[in-house]
Structure 1
Amino acid sequence: MHNPELNSKIVGNVIASFRKSKGISQEVLSGFADIERTHLSAIERGERKPTLETLYCISTALDVNMSDIVKEIENQIDKN
């Protein structure tokens, strides 16, 4: 039986990519998403995985659908 595990580095890279494409700093995004900048930084480095609630706050702050972020995470997983 295969026990898949979500690669936190891929999740972090995708979130960072969305943030950078919007031209937003971690400081600004964390403020809009109402999370600590250090927490966002740890997520983007792959040291922490965001909860669904945190991912929703990030996606809302980026003005993108959470499903778009999830789809890109899935695309990156499929590439690896």
Structure 2
Amino acid sequence: MYNGELDPKIVGEVIAEFRRKKGISQEVMSGLAGIGRTHLSAIERGERKPTLETLYKLSCALDTKMSAVVKEIEKRIDTE
């Protein structure tokens, strides 16, 4: 059941899994997205929540629709 809060760990896990499936490093992905590698690392560890703009940039770097990333996040939220 949705409690109104977005768990940053789930967001980070999903982004990291998409990145690994594409076979790219954090260094490459952060460069493609135009964000710092340490920022990406913090997002993947669940220490920071990406803004909508950053999530869009990450999705573009992954050559994936942002909606696909959001759907996977929602799916994981629903199973918790």
- Structures share fold, TM-score greater than 0.5: yes
Tell me the equivalent position of 1:22: 22
Counterpart code for 1:24: I
Q: Distance in 2 between matches of 1:55 and 1:17?
A: 14
| Structure 1, unpaired ranges of 5+ | none
- 5+ residue gaps, structure 2: none
Deviations 1:10-55 (A, max 9, x none): 0000000000000000000000000000000000000000000000
* Cα RMSD, aligned residues only: 1.1
Distance 2:11 2:32 in 1: 19
Secondary structure of 1:78 counterpart: helix
Which residue does the alignment assign to 1:37? 37
TM-score normalised by the chain length of structure 2: 0.96
Matches within 5 A, 1:1-80: 4-80=4-80
May I ask how many residue pairs the two structures share in their alignment?
A: 79
State percent identity of aligned pairs: 71
